[in-house]
Amino acid sequence: MHQNFIIIELWDKKISGPSDQILGFVKIPLEQFHISFRDKQISRVLLRAQYPVISVDSWMAIIDPFTSTNKSSGEIQVFLAMGTTEQITAVQVTNAGGDLFPSSINNKTTSVIYNNEQSSPTSSVSSPSSLIEHHFEIMIESINGLRAFESMVWGESDCFIQYSFPIEHEQQLTNVNAIKPFKLHTIRTATTLCTSDPTFHDTNKFRYVLSPADALHKYFYAACQSSTPIEASIPFEVWSRFYYPNIRDQLLAKGKLSAAKLCSMTTMMEADINEKSMQSFRIPLEIVRDDPKHEQHHCSSTPVYGGDLLVTVTYKRNVIM
C-alpha cells in the first residue's frame, strides 16, 4: 500500500448511441493504511478494536481527466475503511443514519437500540443519549542531541517548542448534533536555556466531546492532513530566541508525529470501558536553514539530522451520561 492509490472512475453510461464516456476520477492515497498497519504488533491491536481504521470520510473532488489543470468537475462522498468484517459491519451500523450505507442496515440499528433499552441499569453499554469524552495530554519532555548552526554558542539564547494540535470548536461542545471539523491550534512551550539537551516538561491538555457514533480519529485525520492527505501528522518546531543585539526568534529544526500513531491509541481500547493509555514518542528533528535572500526558512534537499524530540502522550476517555 505504500505510495499506492485507489482510483474511482465515474462514467456516463449511454443506453443507446455513442459509447460510454468517462466524466472524471478520484485518486485516494493508501498511505494512511500503510502507516497504521506496517507494525505487526499495532496491526494486531487495531484488528481487535471495535471499529476499523478510517482513511477517508468526506467529500472528495472529481478530477476532469481531459484538462491539464486538474480542474474539479464536482464532488463524490467517499468512505474508505480497512479492517475485519466485524469492524466494517460495526461502522456501517453506527453510520446507518447517513446516506453512505444501504437502507437495509437500518433494521440492524433498530434492534441494537432496542436491546440497549432492555439492558439492566448496571450495564456498561452507553445509552443512545450518552456522550464520549476524550482527553489527550501532551507532555513535551526534552530534546536529545540538539544540533544547531556552527556559529551558535550554547547558553547564549533560549529555545522553545511550537506545535499544532487539533482542537474542538467551542460551539460543538454545546451542540453535539452539529458536528464541525476540528481545527489546528498552535501551542508554544515556555522558553528554556538552549543547550544540546534542553528540557521542557511542558504539558497541555485537550478535551473532545463526541457522540458514540463519531470516531475521533476521522476528525484528527481531517484536521492534520494537507491538501494531499498522504500522511496526516502533528508538526513540531524547535525555535531559538536571541536577545542580542535585538530580540528575535529563529527556527532551528522541524519534526512531525504521525497522526496514525495518536489515533491508534484511541482504537486500541475497548469501546465502552473507561481506560487510560500512555505512550512515549521519539521524534527525529531535521535542521532548518535560513534563506538570506527571501528571509524564509527551508529544509535542505538532503535532510540534516538535528536530534530527537521526546514527547509523552496520555489518552483516556469516559462516558458522560
| pLDDT 10s digits, 50-60 | 778 887 777 78
What would the grid cell of residue 275 be? 481506560
pTM over 0.85? The answer is: no
Count of all residues that appear for the chain in the document:
321
The domain total for the chain is 2
Mean pLDDT of the chain: 75
CA 24 – CA 271 distance, rounded (Å): 39
Q: Do 194 and 313 share a structural domain?
A: yes
CATH number at residue 309: 2.60.40.150
Q: State how far Cα 97 lies from the chain centre.
A: 24
Q: Do 160 and 255 share a structural domain?
A: yes
- The band of 290, judged by pLDDT with boundaries at 50, 70 and 90, is low
Q: Do 190 and 313 share a structural domain?
A: yes
Query: Is 96 a domain residue?
Result: yes
What would the grid cell of residue 62 be? 472529481
Give the mean pLDDT of 219-239.
Answer: 75
Q: Do 225 and 112 share a structural domain?
A: no
Locate the DSSP E strands across 148-303: 158-167, 183-188, 192-193, 199-210, 233-242, 248-258, 275-291, 296-299
Q: Do 154 and 84 share a structural domain?
A: no
Q: What is the pLDDT of residue 113?
A: 27
Q: What is the pLDDT of residue 274?
A: 61
| pLDDT at 170 exceeding the cut of 80 | no
Angle between helices 216-224 and 259-267 (to 10 degrees): 170
CA 51 – CA 135 distance, rounded (Å): 19
Q: Cell 469516559 belongs to which residue?
A: 318
| pLDDT at 241 exceeding the cut of 70 | yes
Query: Is 111 a domain residue?
Result: yes
By residue range, what is the domain housing residue 23? 5-118
* Distance in angstroms between the alpha carbons of the first and the last residue of the chain: 41
Q: Do 236 and 150 share a structural domain?
A: yes
Instruction: Show which of 55, 90, 118 is a domain's final residue.
Output: 118
Q: Do 142 and 83 share a structural domain?
A: no
- Which segment, 95-104, 127-136, 159-168, 204-213, is predicted with the most confidence on average? 159-168
Choose between 293 and 196: higher pLDDT: 196
Give the mean pLDDT of 295-314.
Answer: 77
Query: Is 233 a domain residue?
Result: yes
Q: Do 92 and 183 share a structural domain?
A: no
- The band of 101, judged by pLDDT with boundaries at 50, 70 and 90, is very low
- The band of 154, judged by pLDDT with boundaries at 50, 70 and 90, is confident
| pLDDT at 65 exceeding the cut of 70 | yes
Query: Is 123 a domain residue?
Result: no
Q: Do 241 and 112 share a structural domain?
A: no
